[in-house]
Amino acid sequence: MATSTPAPWSELPQDILDLIIDRLVSSPPRGGFFSSAWSLVQGLLGSSAKPADFNKARRDRHWVSADRARFRAVCRSWHLAMRRHISASRQLPWIVMSDGSFYKPSDPICTSPPRLPTLPSNTRCIGSTDDWLALDFIDAKKMHSYSLHNPFTGITVSLLELDAVIGQVSELFEVRKVLMRSTPLDIVAVMTNNWNHPLILIRPGKGVWLPEPQSAPFVDIVDIAFLGDKLYGITEAEDLVSLGIEFNSDGMPTITSTECLIRHPSGNSSRSVWREVYDNFDSSNNDKGGKDEVTNSFEDHTEAVSEDSEERALDELRNKTGDGMILEGATWLDDEVQHEPKDIITVIRYLIESHGKLLMVKRQLHWPQYSINFTTKVEVYEMDVNDEVHWVPVSGGLGSKALFISRFFCKSIHTCEDGDHDALHFIDSGEKYDMKSQIMSPSWRDIDLYRSTWIFSRELVV
Protein backbone atom coordinates (compact mmCIF):
# COMPACT_ATOMS: atom_id res chain seq x y z
CA MET A 1 0.00 0.00 0.00
CA ALA A 2 1.46 3.31 -1.05
CA THR A 3 2.14 5.85 1.65
CA SER A 4 1.51 9.54 1.11
CA THR A 5 4.49 11.88 1.39
CA PRO A 6 4.00 14.64 3.95
CA ALA A 7 3.75 18.10 2.42
CA PRO A 8 6.80 20.29 3.02
CA TRP A 9 6.58 23.57 4.95
CA SER A 10 6.71 25.52 1.69
CA GLU A 11 3.45 23.87 0.54
CA LEU A 12 1.44 24.85 3.58
CA PRO A 13 -1.77 26.46 2.24
CA GLN A 14 -1.58 30.25 2.18
CA ASP A 15 -4.84 30.73 4.06
CA ILE A 16 -3.58 28.55 6.90
CA LEU A 17 -0.33 30.49 7.03
CA ASP A 18 -2.28 33.74 7.09
CA LEU A 19 -4.53 32.55 9.90
CA ILE A 20 -1.68 31.35 12.09
CA ILE A 21 0.44 34.45 11.54
CA ASP A 22 -2.46 36.79 12.27
CA ARG A 23 -3.10 34.98 15.54
CA LEU A 24 0.58 34.93 16.48
CA VAL A 25 0.96 38.65 15.89
CA SER A 26 -2.25 39.78 17.55
CA SER A 27 -2.51 37.34 20.45
CA PRO A 28 -0.44 37.04 23.62
CA PRO A 29 1.33 33.70 24.18
CA ARG A 30 -1.18 31.07 25.28
CA GLY A 31 -0.66 27.38 25.66
CA GLY A 32 -4.12 26.55 24.35
CA PHE A 33 -3.68 28.46 21.13
CA PHE A 34 -0.24 26.99 20.48
CA SER A 35 -1.55 23.47 20.97
CA SER A 36 -4.51 23.92 18.63
CA ALA A 37 -2.40 25.72 16.01
CA TRP A 38 0.23 23.00 16.14
CA SER A 39 -2.38 20.27 15.81
CA LEU A 40 -3.68 21.92 12.65
CA VAL A 41 -0.20 22.28 11.15
CA GLN A 42 0.82 18.74 12.07
CA GLY A 43 -2.30 17.35 10.49
CA LEU A 44 -1.50 19.12 7.24
CA LEU A 45 2.20 18.29 7.16
CA GLY A 46 2.25 14.79 8.53
CA SER A 47 4.40 13.30 11.23
CA SER A 48 7.66 14.68 9.77
CA ALA A 49 6.91 18.12 11.21
CA LYS A 50 8.21 18.56 14.74
CA PRO A 51 6.61 20.78 17.39
CA ALA A 52 10.05 22.14 18.21
CA ASP A 53 10.33 23.59 14.69
CA PHE A 54 7.03 25.39 14.99
CA ASN A 55 7.84 26.58 18.49
CA LYS A 56 11.16 27.96 17.27
CA ALA A 57 9.42 29.77 14.42
CA ARG A 58 6.91 31.32 16.80
CA ARG A 59 9.62 32.31 19.25
CA ASP A 60 11.92 33.77 16.59
CA ARG A 61 9.02 35.58 14.94
CA HIS A 62 8.16 37.66 17.94
CA TRP A 63 8.91 41.22 16.94
CA VAL A 64 10.41 42.21 20.31
CA SER A 65 12.85 39.31 20.47
CA ALA A 66 16.28 40.24 21.74
CA ASP A 67 18.13 39.16 18.61
CA ARG A 68 15.42 40.36 16.15
CA ALA A 69 15.84 37.14 14.15
CA ARG A 70 14.65 37.16 10.56
CA PHE A 71 11.55 35.07 10.15
CA ARG A 72 12.62 34.13 6.65
CA ALA A 73 15.22 31.85 8.22
CA VAL A 74 12.38 29.39 8.93
CA CYS A 75 11.15 29.14 5.34
CA ARG A 76 10.44 31.35 2.37
CA SER A 77 6.68 30.86 2.34
CA TRP A 78 6.41 31.94 5.96
CA HIS A 79 8.54 34.98 5.23
CA LEU A 80 6.37 36.06 2.30
CA ALA A 81 3.24 35.64 4.37
CA MET A 82 4.75 37.65 7.19
CA ARG A 83 5.50 40.50 4.78
CA ARG A 84 1.81 40.72 3.92
CA HIS A 85 0.46 40.49 7.44
CA ILE A 86 2.80 42.40 9.72
CA SER A 87 1.70 45.99 10.21
CA ALA A 88 4.02 48.55 8.63
CA SER A 89 3.94 50.43 11.91
CA ARG A 90 5.86 47.56 13.50
CA GLN A 91 8.78 48.23 11.18
CA LEU A 92 9.86 51.25 13.20
CA PRO A 93 12.99 53.03 12.00
CA TRP A 94 16.19 53.27 13.96
CA ILE A 95 17.87 56.51 14.94
CA VAL A 96 21.51 56.70 13.84
CA MET A 97 23.82 59.38 15.21
CA SER A 98 26.70 60.96 13.32
CA ASP A 99 29.22 58.92 15.32
CA GLY A 100 27.57 55.66 14.23
CA SER A 101 25.76 54.92 17.48
CA PHE A 102 22.09 54.04 17.21
CA TYR A 103 18.82 53.89 19.13
CA LYS A 104 15.48 52.27 18.59
CA PRO A 105 12.66 54.83 18.98
CA SER A 106 11.44 53.23 22.21
CA ASP A 107 14.90 53.03 23.79
CA PRO A 108 15.64 55.22 26.79
CA ILE A 109 18.29 57.73 25.84
CA CYS A 110 21.46 56.61 27.56
CA THR A 111 24.95 58.04 27.59
CA SER A 112 26.62 55.18 25.71
CA PRO A 113 24.40 53.72 22.96
CA PRO A 114 25.91 50.88 20.91
CA ARG A 115 27.68 51.61 17.64
CA LEU A 116 26.69 49.91 14.42
CA PRO A 117 29.15 47.02 14.14
CA THR A 118 29.55 47.27 10.35
CA LEU A 119 30.92 50.84 10.40
CA PRO A 120 34.70 51.27 10.15
CA SER A 121 36.53 53.58 12.54
CA ASN A 122 37.17 57.22 11.61
CA THR A 123 33.79 57.24 9.87
CA ARG A 124 30.95 59.70 10.35
CA CYS A 125 27.34 59.28 9.29
CA ILE A 126 26.32 62.33 7.25
CA GLY A 127 22.90 61.27 5.98
CA SER A 128 20.59 58.44 5.00
CA THR A 129 17.98 57.24 2.53
CA ASP A 130 15.72 54.34 3.49
CA ASP A 131 18.07 51.51 4.57
CA TRP A 132 21.28 53.18 3.36
CA LEU A 133 23.63 55.40 5.36
CA ALA A 134 25.85 58.05 3.79
CA LEU A 135 29.33 57.82 5.31
CA ASP A 136 32.34 60.12 5.43
CA PHE A 137 35.70 58.45 6.11
CA ILE A 138 38.50 60.83 7.14
CA ASP A 139 42.09 59.63 6.83
CA ALA A 140 45.23 60.79 8.63
CA LYS A 141 45.76 63.55 6.06
CA LYS A 142 42.23 64.92 6.62
CA MET A 143 41.11 63.70 3.21
CA HIS A 144 37.47 62.66 2.91
CA SER A 145 36.16 59.53 1.20
CA TYR A 146 32.40 59.10 0.80
CA SER A 147 30.29 55.98 0.47
CA LEU A 148 26.82 54.52 0.86
CA HIS A 149 26.53 51.69 3.35
CA ASN A 150 23.69 49.31 4.17
CA PRO A 151 24.11 48.12 7.78
CA PHE A 152 21.48 45.41 7.30
CA THR A 153 23.32 43.70 4.44
CA GLY A 154 26.87 44.98 4.98
CA ILE A 155 27.08 46.24 1.36
CA THR A 156 29.11 49.41 0.71
CA VAL A 157 29.16 51.49 -2.50
CA SER A 158 32.01 53.98 -2.91
CA LEU A 159 31.18 57.47 -4.20
CA LEU A 160 34.44 58.26 -5.97
CA GLU A 161 32.80 61.03 -8.00
CA LEU A 162 31.99 62.81 -4.75
CA ASP A 163 35.53 62.38 -3.43
CA ALA A 164 36.82 64.30 -6.45
CA VAL A 165 34.63 67.32 -5.62
CA ILE A 166 34.57 67.51 -1.82
CA GLY A 167 37.40 65.21 -0.79
CA GLN A 168 39.47 68.12 0.51
CA VAL A 169 37.41 70.65 2.47
CA SER A 170 37.81 73.06 5.37
CA GLU A 171 36.54 72.72 8.93
CA LEU A 172 33.55 74.88 7.98
CA PHE A 173 32.27 72.47 5.35
CA GLU A 174 29.04 70.53 5.92
CA VAL A 175 27.03 68.01 3.97
CA ARG A 176 23.40 68.96 4.50
CA LYS A 177 21.71 66.03 2.77
CA VAL A 178 22.47 62.87 0.77
CA LEU A 179 19.39 61.59 -1.07
CA MET A 180 19.12 58.57 -3.35
CA ARG A 181 16.46 58.49 -6.07
CA SER A 182 16.14 54.70 -5.92
CA THR A 183 19.26 52.53 -5.62
CA PRO A 184 22.92 53.40 -4.94
CA LEU A 185 23.65 52.92 -8.64
CA ASP A 186 21.05 55.50 -9.66
CA ILE A 187 21.12 59.27 -9.05
CA VAL A 188 22.44 60.49 -5.70
CA ALA A 189 21.79 64.16 -4.83
CA VAL A 190 24.03 65.90 -2.30
CA MET A 191 23.43 69.29 -0.64
CA THR A 192 26.29 71.21 0.99
CA ASN A 193 26.90 74.57 2.69
CA ASN A 194 29.44 75.58 0.01
CA TRP A 195 28.01 78.12 -2.40
CA ASN A 196 30.32 76.98 -5.20
CA HIS A 197 28.68 73.54 -5.23
CA PRO A 198 25.48 73.76 -3.15
CA LEU A 199 23.95 70.85 -5.07
CA ILE A 200 25.87 67.89 -6.50
CA LEU A 201 24.40 65.10 -8.62
CA ILE A 202 26.35 61.90 -9.08
CA ARG A 203 25.76 58.49 -10.53
CA PRO A 204 28.37 56.03 -9.27
CA GLY A 205 30.61 54.91 -12.09
CA LYS A 206 29.07 57.37 -14.56
CA GLY A 207 29.98 60.91 -13.54
CA VAL A 208 29.12 64.05 -11.59
CA TRP A 209 27.14 67.22 -12.35
CA LEU A 210 27.73 70.61 -10.70
CA PRO A 211 25.88 73.92 -11.11
CA GLU A 212 27.67 77.16 -11.88
CA PRO A 213 29.28 78.50 -8.66
CA GLN A 214 27.05 80.75 -6.52
CA SER A 215 24.15 80.39 -8.96
CA ALA A 216 20.44 80.57 -8.26
CA PRO A 217 18.22 78.76 -7.52
CA PHE A 218 20.69 76.22 -6.13
CA VAL A 219 22.18 78.44 -3.40
CA ASP A 220 18.67 79.20 -2.12
CA ILE A 221 17.39 75.63 -1.79
CA VAL A 222 17.01 74.41 1.81
CA ASP A 223 15.60 70.92 1.17
CA ILE A 224 15.08 68.52 -1.72
CA ALA A 225 12.94 65.52 -2.64
CA PHE A 226 12.60 63.23 -5.65
CA LEU A 227 9.17 62.78 -7.20
CA GLY A 228 9.08 60.68 -10.34
CA ASP A 229 11.90 61.62 -12.67
CA LYS A 230 12.33 65.11 -11.24
CA LEU A 231 14.12 66.61 -8.29
CA TYR A 232 12.28 69.32 -6.37
CA GLY A 233 13.63 71.92 -3.99
CA ILE A 234 12.13 74.43 -1.58
CA THR A 235 13.60 77.70 -0.37
CA GLU A 236 13.28 79.47 2.93
CA ALA A 237 10.72 81.73 1.24
CA GLU A 238 8.75 78.51 0.47
CA ASP A 239 9.30 78.77 -3.25
CA LEU A 240 9.08 75.41 -5.02
CA VAL A 241 11.63 74.69 -7.75
CA SER A 242 11.46 71.84 -10.26
CA LEU A 243 14.77 70.48 -11.59
CA GLY A 244 14.55 68.36 -14.73
CA ILE A 245 17.18 65.60 -14.98
CA GLU A 246 18.40 63.82 -18.08
CA PHE A 247 21.31 61.48 -18.82
CA ASN A 248 24.00 62.09 -21.40
CA SER A 249 25.36 59.40 -23.69
CA ASP A 250 27.67 58.16 -20.92
CA GLY A 251 24.82 57.83 -18.43
CA MET A 252 25.87 60.87 -16.40
CA PRO A 253 22.96 62.83 -14.83
CA THR A 254 22.54 66.46 -15.86
CA ILE A 255 20.03 69.10 -14.80
CA THR A 256 18.70 70.39 -18.09
CA SER A 257 15.88 72.63 -16.86
CA THR A 258 14.86 74.64 -13.81
CA GLU A 259 11.39 76.01 -13.21
CA CYS A 260 10.04 77.96 -10.25
CA LEU A 261 6.58 76.49 -9.76
CA ILE A 262 5.65 78.48 -6.65
CA ARG A 263 7.09 81.92 -5.96
CA HIS A 264 6.78 84.14 -2.90
CA PRO A 265 7.94 87.70 -2.17
CA SER A 266 11.69 87.94 -1.63
CA GLY A 267 11.08 89.46 1.80
CA ASN A 268 10.09 86.01 3.08
CA SER A 269 13.71 84.89 2.99
CA SER A 270 16.79 85.79 5.02
CA ARG A 271 19.26 84.01 2.75
CA SER A 272 21.23 87.21 2.15
CA VAL A 273 22.27 87.41 5.79
CA TRP A 274 25.90 86.46 5.17
CA ARG A 275 26.31 89.15 2.53
CA GLU A 276 24.85 91.74 4.90
CA VAL A 277 27.05 90.54 7.75
CA TYR A 278 30.17 90.77 5.61
CA ASP A 279 29.23 94.19 4.25
CA ASN A 280 28.66 95.52 7.76
CA PHE A 281 31.83 93.85 9.01
CA ASP A 282 33.97 95.42 6.28
CA SER A 283 32.29 98.79 6.69
CA SER A 284 32.83 98.90 10.44
CA ASN A 285 36.49 97.94 10.04
CA ASN A 286 37.01 100.65 7.45
CA ASP A 287 35.43 103.20 9.79
CA LYS A 288 37.87 102.19 12.52
CA GLY A 289 40.78 102.69 10.16
CA GLY A 290 42.14 99.32 11.29
CA LYS A 291 42.78 100.51 14.88
CA ASP A 292 41.58 98.65 17.93
CA GLU A 293 39.26 100.36 20.35
CA VAL A 294 40.61 101.16 23.78
CA THR A 295 38.98 98.94 26.39
CA ASN A 296 38.66 99.43 30.12
CA SER A 297 41.14 96.69 30.93
CA PHE A 298 44.06 94.96 29.31
CA GLU A 299 42.30 91.57 29.65
CA ASP A 300 39.18 92.78 27.86
CA HIS A 301 41.29 94.35 25.16
CA THR A 302 43.25 91.14 24.59
CA GLU A 303 40.07 89.08 24.44
CA ALA A 304 38.48 91.47 21.95
CA VAL A 305 41.54 91.35 19.71
CA SER A 306 41.62 87.55 19.90
CA GLU A 307 37.94 87.21 18.98
CA ASP A 308 38.36 89.74 16.19
CA SER A 309 41.34 87.81 14.80
CA GLU A 310 39.44 84.52 14.91
CA GLU A 311 36.50 86.05 13.10
CA ARG A 312 38.80 87.52 10.47
CA ALA A 313 40.43 84.12 9.95
CA LEU A 314 37.04 82.42 9.56
CA ASP A 315 35.91 85.18 7.21
CA GLU A 316 38.97 84.66 5.03
CA LEU A 317 38.43 80.89 5.06
CA ARG A 318 34.80 81.26 3.97
CA ASN A 319 35.71 83.59 1.12
CA LYS A 320 38.61 81.41 0.00
CA THR A 321 36.80 78.05 0.03
CA GLY A 322 33.11 78.91 -0.20
CA ASP A 323 32.50 76.61 2.78
CA GLY A 324 29.95 77.88 5.29
CA MET A 325 28.63 80.53 2.91
CA ILE A 326 25.14 78.99 2.77
CA LEU A 327 23.16 79.36 5.97
CA GLU A 328 21.11 76.57 7.52
CA GLY A 329 17.86 77.82 6.01
CA ALA A 330 15.85 78.01 9.23
CA THR A 331 13.90 81.18 9.98
CA TRP A 332 14.70 82.76 13.35
CA LEU A 333 11.82 84.30 15.29
CA ASP A 334 11.80 86.71 18.21
CA ASP A 335 10.86 85.36 21.62
CA GLU A 336 8.23 87.88 22.69
CA VAL A 337 7.71 86.67 26.27
CA GLN A 338 8.47 89.64 28.52
CA HIS A 339 10.45 89.47 31.75
CA GLU A 340 11.82 86.01 30.87
CA PRO A 341 15.14 84.85 29.41
CA LYS A 342 15.18 85.02 25.63
CA ASP A 343 14.87 81.57 24.08
CA ILE A 344 15.61 80.56 20.51
CA ILE A 345 12.66 79.91 18.19
CA THR A 346 13.15 78.63 14.65
CA VAL A 347 10.94 77.60 11.76
CA ILE A 348 12.30 74.62 9.81
CA ARG A 349 10.93 73.46 6.46
CA TYR A 350 11.04 69.91 5.12
CA LEU A 351 10.16 68.64 1.64
CA ILE A 352 8.79 65.07 1.58
CA GLU A 353 7.59 62.71 -1.13
CA SER A 354 4.54 60.88 0.17
CA HIS A 355 3.27 58.11 -2.12
CA GLY A 356 3.10 60.22 -5.27
CA LYS A 357 2.45 63.55 -3.55
CA LEU A 358 4.81 66.34 -2.55
CA LEU A 359 4.44 67.68 0.99
CA MET A 360 6.02 70.60 2.80
CA VAL A 361 6.18 70.39 6.59
CA LYS A 362 6.76 73.56 8.62
CA ARG A 363 7.85 73.04 12.19
CA GLN A 364 8.21 75.83 14.75
CA LEU A 365 10.77 74.64 17.27
CA HIS A 366 11.36 76.23 20.67
CA TRP A 367 14.87 75.97 22.15
CA PRO A 368 14.50 76.90 25.86
CA GLN A 369 17.61 77.66 27.87
CA TYR A 370 16.91 75.37 30.79
CA SER A 371 14.94 72.41 29.39
CA ILE A 372 14.69 70.20 26.30
CA ASN A 373 13.39 71.44 22.95
CA PHE A 374 9.72 71.23 22.07
CA THR A 375 7.55 71.93 19.04
CA THR A 376 5.08 74.80 19.28
CA LYS A 377 3.47 74.65 15.85
CA VAL A 378 3.22 72.23 12.90
CA GLU A 379 1.80 72.94 9.44
CA VAL A 380 1.62 70.49 6.53
CA TYR A 381 1.04 71.58 2.93
CA GLU A 382 0.54 69.63 -0.28
CA MET A 383 1.56 70.72 -3.76
CA ASP A 384 -1.65 71.30 -5.73
CA VAL A 385 -1.17 71.16 -9.50
CA ASN A 386 -4.73 72.12 -10.44
CA ASP A 387 -4.72 75.28 -12.57
CA GLU A 388 -1.79 77.16 -11.00
CA VAL A 389 0.66 75.25 -8.80
CA HIS A 390 0.38 76.32 -5.15
CA TRP A 391 0.63 75.01 -1.59
CA VAL A 392 -2.62 73.74 -0.08
CA PRO A 393 -2.91 73.18 3.70
CA VAL A 394 -3.47 69.54 4.70
CA SER A 395 -6.11 69.47 7.41
CA GLY A 396 -7.96 66.14 7.21
CA GLY A 397 -5.10 63.81 7.96
CA LEU A 398 -2.46 61.98 5.95
CA GLY A 399 -4.51 59.07 4.63
CA SER A 400 -3.36 56.35 7.04
CA LYS A 401 0.27 57.43 6.70
CA ALA A 402 2.87 58.53 9.22
CA LEU A 403 5.71 60.97 8.60
CA PHE A 404 9.12 60.54 10.22
CA ILE A 405 10.92 63.88 10.32
CA SER A 406 14.64 64.57 10.64
CA ARG A 407 17.07 67.08 9.22
CA PHE A 408 18.87 64.54 7.03
CA PHE A 409 16.02 62.29 5.92
CA CYS A 410 12.23 62.30 6.06
CA LYS A 411 9.96 59.45 5.04
CA SER A 412 6.26 58.75 4.67
CA ILE A 413 5.10 55.21 5.42
CA HIS A 414 1.77 53.39 5.43
CA THR A 415 0.60 52.32 8.86
CA CYS A 416 -2.16 49.96 9.94
CA GLU A 417 -2.04 50.87 13.61
CA ASP A 418 -4.84 53.26 14.61
CA GLY A 419 -2.70 55.15 17.10
CA ASP A 420 -0.16 56.00 14.40
CA HIS A 421 -2.50 57.12 11.62
CA ASP A 422 -1.88 60.69 10.43
CA ALA A 423 1.04 61.22 12.81
CA LEU A 424 4.32 63.10 12.50
CA HIS A 425 7.30 61.77 14.48
CA PHE A 426 10.14 64.16 15.32
CA ILE A 427 13.53 62.55 15.76
CA ASP A 428 15.10 64.99 18.23
CA SER A 429 12.34 65.48 20.80
CA GLY A 430 10.42 62.19 20.45
CA GLU A 431 7.20 64.16 19.99
CA LYS A 432 4.31 62.75 17.98
CA TYR A 433 1.86 65.16 16.38
CA ASP A 434 -1.63 63.91 15.49
CA MET A 435 -2.84 65.68 12.35
CA LYS A 436 -6.53 65.01 12.99
CA SER A 437 -6.73 65.94 16.66
CA GLN A 438 -3.90 68.51 16.36
CA ILE A 439 -2.51 67.23 19.64
CA MET A 440 1.23 67.09 20.27
CA SER A 441 2.62 64.52 22.67
CA PRO A 442 5.12 65.77 25.27
CA SER A 443 8.77 66.12 24.38
CA TRP A 444 10.64 63.31 26.17
CA ARG A 445 14.11 63.03 24.67
CA ASP A 446 16.88 65.41 23.67
CA ILE A 447 18.72 64.08 20.61
CA ASP A 448 20.87 66.48 18.62
CA LEU A 449 18.82 67.55 15.61
CA TYR A 450 21.97 68.17 13.58
CA ARG A 451 23.63 64.82 14.34
CA SER A 452 20.80 62.31 13.91
CA THR A 453 18.91 60.62 11.09
CA TRP A 454 16.33 57.87 10.52
CA ILE A 455 17.13 54.56 8.87
CA PHE A 456 14.47 52.14 7.63
CA SER A 457 14.98 48.47 6.85
CA ARG A 458 13.48 47.18 3.60
CA GLU A 459 13.67 43.66 5.01
CA LEU A 460 11.10 42.39 7.45
CA VAL A 461 13.06 42.12 10.67
CA VAL A 462 11.13 40.66 13.61
From first to last of the 462 residues of the chain, give the pLDDT tens digit.
Answer: 445 454 454 555 555 555 555 444 444 434 444 444 444 444 444 444 454 554 444 444 333 333 333 444 445 554 455 454 444 445 689 999 999 999 887 777 666 789 999 898 899 999 999 999 999 999 999 999 999 999 999 999 999 999 999 999 999 999 999 999 999 999 999 999 999 999 999 999 999 999 999 999 999 999 999 998 899 999 999 999 999 999 999 999 999 999 999 998 765 555 543 334 334 434 444 444 443 443 444 455 455 556 788 888 999 999 999 999 999 888 988 776 666 667 889 999 999 999 999 999 999 999 988 889 999 999 999 999 887 899 999 988 888 899 999 999 999 998 766 667 889 999 999 999 999 999 999 999 999 999 999 999 875 333
Residue 446 is inside which H or E element, if any? none
Angle between helix axes 14-26 and 31-45 (nearest 10 degrees) is 170
pLDDT of residue 16: 52
Question: What's the rounded Cα separation, in Å, for the pair 279 and 296?
Answer: 28
pLDDT of residue 281: 35
- Residues contacting residue 12 through CB under 8 Å, at least 6 positions apart: 41, 44, 45, 77
pTM above 0.85, yes or no: no
Q: Say which DSSP state 5 is in.
A: P
> HSE-up of 361 (CA within 13 Å, CB side)?
29
pLDDT of residue 357: 94
